[in-house]
């Protein structure tokens, strides 16, 4: 019995869709789980009925709606509601795919950095393009904080510009690293139980209780992290969009 | 690059059988750049699909349901408020009616009491007048009776005096002097 905590992140092509240049574009297990996430969200939101007194499924759909809506209102104001579909899609996509990915033998879409980079760049360019289109050059006033003495302003501006362009990096790596590390840790501890048992026999199985307890605790933590990282991603998106909507602040 | 990722049919078997060999030579799957294009394309497709579903169908539907409920609740509350106002108004009208009826009853009571009092007073006065009349009449009768009796007393006294004088002296006195003597003693 050998612990291989990396195997769960393998991308396995299921069938080929086509070619771009000399790159083969395949429908992979990752694509399958994206499809699963989209299907679950669609089912939840569309098949849950719209009764006056909501059932369980409809309550979940409405709580998600209200949750994301209130997050946007509190961070980006009422004007931020024009990005409601985007933020709702981001939050639900990440949250559902993370929660699906925590089921054993499944694949976690956001444990691949290219996916989180794709989502973070989507947010980054949305902020940039909307900010410039709405405010023109005034948008770049977010790099010039108020009340900073003149002699230190160039340094502050340099830091502000740098941090602005580093946003997609931190935005994507936070989600990716959390999911990756969590799943590796789970796999290591869970594998440890089996390894002890198979190599030491009865004593090993008894000794495996400790890593098993740790695995269970980690599993609960990972469920929290799966939701929390989706929330963090969504709220950071709101905060970045707030810069584009109200660059004066 | 094409050979590292191409041949989608053969690749999975290879990946399953020897997990550490084959195309894992690059090491860590998340940093395997040959899979980036596939993932980005599927992410783009599925995220766009999700965005369209969410913005065109899901959010209007759920938002509509929430709004419909909100409207229903507000409508019901407004209806309840209206009914409450109506019942308040009815209560106020009832209380006003009750108060006016009570004051009217009191007025009627006062009026009839006064009327009865006045009537009783008038009857009492009439009775007193009547009694006073009767009293005056009775006094008059008493007075006349007394004068008559007094005149009778004088006659009796004169007779008695005449008889006494006759018994004492054996002489019958003349009536004039007897009367004069009786009158003198009556006055005295």
Query: Per-residue b/e over B72-86, b at no fewer than 16 CB within 10 Å?
Result: eeeeeeeeeeeeeee
* pTM over 0.80, yes/no: no
Q: Are A196 and A207 in contact (CB under 8 A)?
A: yes
Q: How far is CA A235 from CA A59, A69, A231, in A?
A: 22, 11, 6
Phi and psi based region of residue B155 (left: phi greater than 0; alpha: psi -120 to 50; beta: remaining):
alpha
Residue A136, both tokens: 């023109």
User: At B188, is the pLDDT very low, low, confident or very high (cuts 50, 70, 90)?
Assistant: low
Kindly state the helix (H) or strand (E) to which residue A28 belongs, with its residue range: strand A23-28
**Which DSSP letter does residue B173 get?**
-
Q: How many CB atoms lie within 10 A of CB A242?
A: 19
Residue of chain A whose Cα is closest to the Cα of B13 = A12
Record: contact A24-B38, CB cut-off 8 A: yes
Quote the minimal CA–CA distance from A118 to chain B in Å: 7
- List the pLDDT tens digit at each of the 249 positions of chain A: 466 778 888 888 888 888 888 888 889 899 999 999 999 999 999 888 778 888 888 999 999 999 999 999 999 888 889 999 999 999 999 999 999 999 988 999 999 999 999 999 999 999 999 999 988 888 888 888 777 788 888 898 899 999 999 999 999 999 999 999 999 999 998 888 888 888 887 888 888 888 899 999 999 999 999 999 999 999 999 999 998 888 775
Record: contact B5-A23, CB cut-off 8 A: yes
User: At B19, is the pLDDT very low, low, confident or very high (cuts 50, 70, 90)?
Assistant: very low
Measured between beta carbons, which residues in chain A are less than 8 angstroms from residue B51? 85-86, 89
Does residue B10 carry a pLDDT above 80? no
User: At B147, is the pLDDT very low, low, confident or very high (cuts 50, 70, 90)?
Assistant: confident
Record: contact B61-A51, CB cut-off 8 A: no
User: At B93, is the pLDDT very low, low, confident or very high (cuts 50, 70, 90)?
Assistant: very high
Residue of chain A whose Cα is closest to the Cα of B26 = A10
Q: Residue B18 has what pLDDT?
A: 38
Residue of chain A whose Cα is closest to the Cα of B30 = A112
Q: Percent of chain B, pLDDT > 90?
A: 53
Quote the minimal CA–CA distance from A123 to chain B in Å: 13
Q: Which one of B2, B12, B72 has the shortest CB-CB distance to A13?
A: B12
Q: Residue A249 has what pLDDT?
A: 57
The CA-based angle B124-B129-B130, given to 5 degrees, is 95
Picking from A226, A10, A123, the residue whose alpha carbon sits closest to that of residue B38 is A10
33-62 in B: which are within 8 Å (CB) of A? 34-44, 46-47, 49-51, 53-55, 57-59, 61-62
Phi and psi based region of residue B18 (left: phi greater than 0; alpha: psi -120 to 50; beta: remaining):
beta
Q: Residue B5 has what pLDDT?
A: 40
Q: State the average pLDDT over residues B9-25.
A: 40
Q: Residue B89 has what pLDDT?
A: 96
The torsion angle over the Cα atoms of residues A174, A175, A178 and A182, rounded to 10 degrees, is -170
Picking from A127, A131, A160, A132, the residue whose alpha carbon sits closest to that of residue A236 is A127
User: At B31, is the pLDDT very low, low, confident or very high (cuts 50, 70, 90)?
Assistant: confident
Q: Are B38 and A31 in contact (CB under 8 A)?
A: yes
Residue A53, both tokens: 């007194």
Size of interface A-B (CB pairs under 8 A): 158
Interchain contact B13–A (C-beta under 8 A): no
**Which DSSP letter does residue B116 get?**
H
Residue of chain A whose Cα is closest to the Cα of B6 = A24
Record: contact A24-B5, CB cut-off 8 A: yes
Residue labelled with tokens 């000794």: A207
Measured between beta carbons, which residues in chain A are less than 8 angstroms from residue B38? 11, 13, 23-28, 30-31
């Amino acid at each position: 019995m050998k612990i291989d905590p990396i195997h769960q992140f393998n991308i396995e092509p299921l069938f080929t869709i086509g070619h771009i240049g000399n790159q083969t574009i395949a429908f992979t297990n990752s694509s399958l789980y994206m499809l699963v996430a989209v299907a679950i969200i669609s089912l939840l939101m569309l098949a849950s009925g719209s009764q006056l007194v909501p059932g369980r499924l409809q309550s979940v759909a409405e709580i998600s709606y209200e949750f994301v809506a209130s997050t946007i209102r509190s961070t980006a104001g009422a004007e931020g509601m024009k990005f409601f579909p985007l933020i709702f899609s981001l939050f639900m996509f990440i949250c559902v795919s993370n929660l699906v990915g925590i089921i054993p033998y499944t694949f976690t879409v956001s444990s691949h950095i290219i996916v989180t980079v794709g989502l973070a760049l989507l947010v980054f360019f949305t902020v940039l393009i909307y900010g410039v289109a709405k405010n023109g050059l005034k948008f770049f006033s977010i790099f010039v904080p108020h009340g900073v003495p003149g002699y230190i302003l160039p340094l502050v501006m340099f830091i502000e510009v740098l941090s602005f362009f580093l946003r997609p990096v931190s935005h994507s790596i936070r989600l990716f690293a959390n999911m990756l590390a969590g799943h590796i840790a789970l796999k290591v501890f869970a594998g440890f139980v089996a390894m002890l048992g198979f190599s030491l026999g009865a004593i090993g199985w008894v000794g495996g209780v400790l890593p098993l307890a740790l695995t269970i605790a980690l599993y609960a933590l990972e469920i929290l992290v799966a939701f929390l990282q989706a929330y963090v991603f969504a709220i950071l998106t709101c905060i970045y969009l707030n810069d584009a909507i109200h660059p004066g602040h | 690059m094409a050979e590292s990722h191409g041949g989608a049919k053969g690749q999975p078997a290879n990946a399953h059988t020897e997990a550490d060999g084959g195309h894992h030579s690059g090491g860590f799957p998340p940093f395997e750049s040959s899979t980036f294009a596939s993932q980005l394309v599927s992410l783009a497709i599925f995220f766009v699909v999700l965005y369209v579903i969410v913005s065109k169908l899901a959010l209007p539907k759920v938002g509509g349901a929430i709004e419909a409920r909100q409207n229903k609740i507000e409508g019901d509350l407004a209806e309840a408020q209206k009914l409450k106002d109506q019942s308040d108004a009815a209560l106020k009208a009832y209380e006003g009616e009750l108060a006016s009826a009570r004051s009217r009853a009191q007025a009627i009571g006062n009026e009839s009491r006064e009327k009865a009092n006045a009537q009783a007073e008038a009857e009492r006065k009439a009775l007193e007048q009547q009694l006073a009349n009767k009293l005056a009449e009775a006094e008059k009768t008493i007075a006349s009776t007394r004068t008559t009796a007094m005149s009778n007393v004088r006659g009796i006294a004169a007779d008695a005096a005449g008889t006494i004088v006759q018994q004492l002296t054996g002489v019958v006195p003349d009536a004039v002097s007897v009367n004069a003597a009786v009158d003198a003693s009556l006055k005295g």
